[in-house]
Amino acid sequence: MSHALLSITFLTFAVTVAASAQQPTAPGQIRPRPGEGRDPEFPPPTILEYKPRSTLVVPAHTVPRAKFPVVDFHGHPPALTSPENIQRVVDAMDQLNLRVMINASGRSQDRLKQQLAAVAASKHKDRFVMFTTLNLRDIGPGSGARLAAQLEADVAAGAVGIGEINKGFGLSARKADGTRLKLDDPELDPVWETAARLGIPVFIHTADPSEFFQPIDYQNERWLELALFSNRRYNDRARYPSFEELMAERDRLFKRHPKTTFVTAHLGWHAHDLARLGRMFDSLPNLYSEVGAVLYELGRQPRFAREFLIKYQDRILFGKDSFQPDEYPYYWRVFETNDEYFDYYRDYHAFWKLYGLGLPDAVLKKLYYLNALKIVPGIPRAGFPG
């Protein structure tokens, strides 16, 4: 082969390789990368063992105390039945700048009155308010009227809302006839109508993260959590309704009672799809939500989450869920700083890092306390900025 022909052949080959490397991949197709298909020379770690050290050096700001006083709308403190328990919780609240905690571990009748009396007799009666609860087992004809009457009595005793209605409502609660109790069952309409008349919010936890309802495979980003906790697996359609079925029931409930203030827990489990929650806010003026246990979702989308919380600043409440005082500062850091790439406190929830949203003060005030003061009657006003 002549030198000229060899040069032309090599040039043609090089152009062909370069052109093929620049060809766009089909939607959803991932271009092969160097090293793909090769096995590591060393035994690979398990998902529990691989915890690489970050070498990133960026500004970091710990925020042990919230910038403004906070109402924890989604509080689950230890039973507030003794001066010792109450004092222990208040000591932690003072360090965090939690001004008022709503006890969302709803209690009814005598158990409600017991905690209300213990708080009233303590030195800290301005630091807690109580939600009542609903017994949603064996619902049948007449149950709605009975529950509505009990709600009236509990509110007269001092309860300021209904909640947290837990995820068993819709997932597993059964009616007296053995069928699944759907969220929009008309038998319960008297309860929601009574809540509207009394001017109290209904705090409702529906379903769980959507991935809990999906196949437990290596494409499921909650695989580790599902592998660790068997009671979070809802992908068996013979036992549980689908995520979307529960969401449809929930949304019909909210629409059918426009005068009732509903607060959907955990950003409605739509923190991974905030645009969907935004559409709900746009169509349901009676709807609010809170941020408990979904910080990992907000912190991985800092720009969009910031825009969302600013746009819907009048509809979002602060809530934490489990009472672990050392975890609250992660919320303050995400909401108040512009920090980058820092850890979440539970790696089985999120193996990714968090970023700060740097929310404006006006938004922080609404998130931390103003929205709660607006929708929850009876929260003591002392200690909050005017």
Longest dimension (CA), the chain: 103
Give the residue from 63, 100, 34, 33 showing the smallest Cα distance to 295.
63
Give the residue from 318, 322, 315 showing the smallest Cα distance to 334.
318
Q: Is the peptide bond before 164 cis (omega within 30 degrees of 0)?
A: yes
Would residue 18 count as lying in a domain? no
Range of the domain at 265: 70-375
- What is residue 5's predicted lDDT score, i.e. its pLDDT? 41
Would residue 262 count as lying in a domain? yes
Would residue 352 count as lying in a domain? yes
| Helical segments of the chain, H only | 3-22, 83-96, 109-121, 143-157, 168-171, 189-198, 223-228, 243-256, 274-283, 295-298, 302-311, 328-336, 361-365, 371-375
Would residue 13 count as lying in a domain? no
Quickly list DSSP for 213-267.
GS--STT-TTHHHHHH-GGG----TTTS--HHHHHHHHHHHHHH-TTS-EEEGGG
Would residue 281 count as lying in a domain? yes
Backbone torsions φ then ψ of 221, nearest 5 degrees:
-70, -5
- Strand-by-strand arrangement of the 162-165 sheet: 162-165, 202-204, 262-264, 287-290, 316-317
- Predicted structure pTM score: 0.91
Would residue 99 count as lying in a domain? yes
Domain count, the chain: 1
Specify whether the CB–CB gap between 115 and 79 falls below 8 A: yes
CATH number of the domain where residue 246 is located: 3.20.20.140
Question: What is the mean pLDDT for each group of 10 consecutive residues in the chain (386 residues)?
Answer: 43 42 59 81 91 94 98 96 95 98 96 96 96 97 98 98 97 97 98 98 98 96 95 97 98 98 98 98 98 98 98 98 97 98 90 96 98 96 90
Would residue 226 count as lying in a domain? yes
Rg of the Cα atoms in the chain: 26
Gap between the Cα atoms of 339 and 96, Å rounded: 19
Would residue 32 count as lying in a domain? no
Give the amino acid at 335: F
> 3-state DSSP call for residue 165?
strand
